[in-house]
Amino acid sequence: MNNLKKTLFAGAFPFWNKLTDDERDRLINESIEVVYNKGDSIHHSDMECKGIIVVLLGRLRIYMLSEEGREVTLFYIYAGDSCVLSASCLLETIEFEIIIEPVDDVRSIIIPTAVVHPIMENNLHMELYMYKKATERFSDVMWTIQQILFMGADKRVAIFLWDEMLRQKQQVLKITHDEIAKNIGSAREVVTKILKYFVRDGIIIMSRGKIEIVNKTKLQKLL
């Protein structure tokens, strides 16, 4: 397992070669493999600061919850990538209430806060990486907010379907209306109306738990 961690960390962390041998050994030896099941709560404001999460398999969804209970997906963490906002307690001046949960069953490696903190304090390269990664995620958040504020719900649904088609590499998407609503920050009823419009326009075909994109050209014109 340690050889796997070494290979994984060397690929995931650009500062890896800037660490001392002792720092690399500590990251390898004191990080732990954790498996999460779909729907588990990994991180929210009432939980302790977890540390850096490196995803091996599966997908994490990072989202916010409004006072009315509406979920707004901010971005995803995919296999091979890391999440540093789960270690936000180590990032001074950054206060960001998010929820992290698995979209699928997820295998991950967690580098605990107690391991990350002393290395950050003594190694500028790791500290810069943490802030750079957090900044990149805030760019994702701003894109999401821009969509919600300045784009109609029909365009947001079209963008989501197009992105999912590219991600899944197929035109038949296993997705529910509720999942789309959570991803675009809208109500389920609104999404259902838009999808019915797409059906009437010959863009998609709907069945239980599935949406088939039958006219990519028409869909692309809505982006």
Mean pLDDT, 10 residues at a time, over the chain (223 residues)? 86 93 95 93 81 94 84 90 85 75 94 94 93 89 88 95 95 94 91 96 94 97 94
Instruction: List the domain boundaries for the chain.
Output: 2-149, 151-221
pLDDT of residue 67: 77
Burial of 199 (0-12, 13-18, 19+ CB in 10 A): middle
pLDDT of residue 49: 84
Q: Which of 57, 62, 107, 106 is nearest to 84 (CA)?
A: 62
Cα 31 to chain centroid distance, Å, stands at 21
pLDDT of residue 25: 95
In CATH terms, 151-221 corresponds, of 3.40.190.10, 1.10.10.410, 3.40.1080.20, 1.10.10.10, to 1.10.10.10
Q: What is the largest CA-CA distance in the chain?
A: 63
CATH node for 2-149: 2.60.120.10
Rounded CA separation 175/24 (Å): 41
